[in-house]
Amino acid sequence: MAFTLYERFYLGIHGLIPPAFMTEEQQVYRVMKRIREQPDNLAKYVQLDELHTRSQKLFYRVLCSNVKELMPIVYTPTVGLACQKFGAIYRHPK
């Protein structure tokens, strides 16, 4: 859903991915809504880490658009907590 119609034709992937597409602003809004629904900062960190695995471009767009809100999650103290609970956080191979 991250490719525009022009990009789909240019890359030759039209018809190979779902027909709907959203603007980056819509995607950022949806990601932030999902992050804000999380009960604690560790859960928010996990959501952001999964986003980083799926789409680095969207991850950095979200981060740059919401720096004040997300810095405590991608930096201290949440990263320290994530390191302490590293074994309990399931991650896909990168």
Comparing CA positions, the residue from 57, 59, 55 lying closest to residue 45 is: 59
- Which residue intervals of 1-94 are DSSP H helices? 5-11, 24-36, 41-54, 56-65, 67-74, 78-84
For residue 9, is it within any domain?
A: no
pLDDT at 26 > cutoff 90: yes
Sign, CA torsion 64/68/69/70: positive
pLDDT at 34 > cutoff 90: yes
pLDDT at site 74: 86
pLDDT digits (tens, 9 = 90+) for 40-91: 998 998 899 899 998 999 999 999 999 999 998 988 777 777 766 776 676 6
pLDDT band at 30; cut points 50, 70, 90: very high
Q: How many domains does the chain divide into?
A: 1
pTM: 0.75
Q: What is the CATH number of the domain that holds 61?
A: 1.20.1370.30
Residue 43, domain extent: 23-88
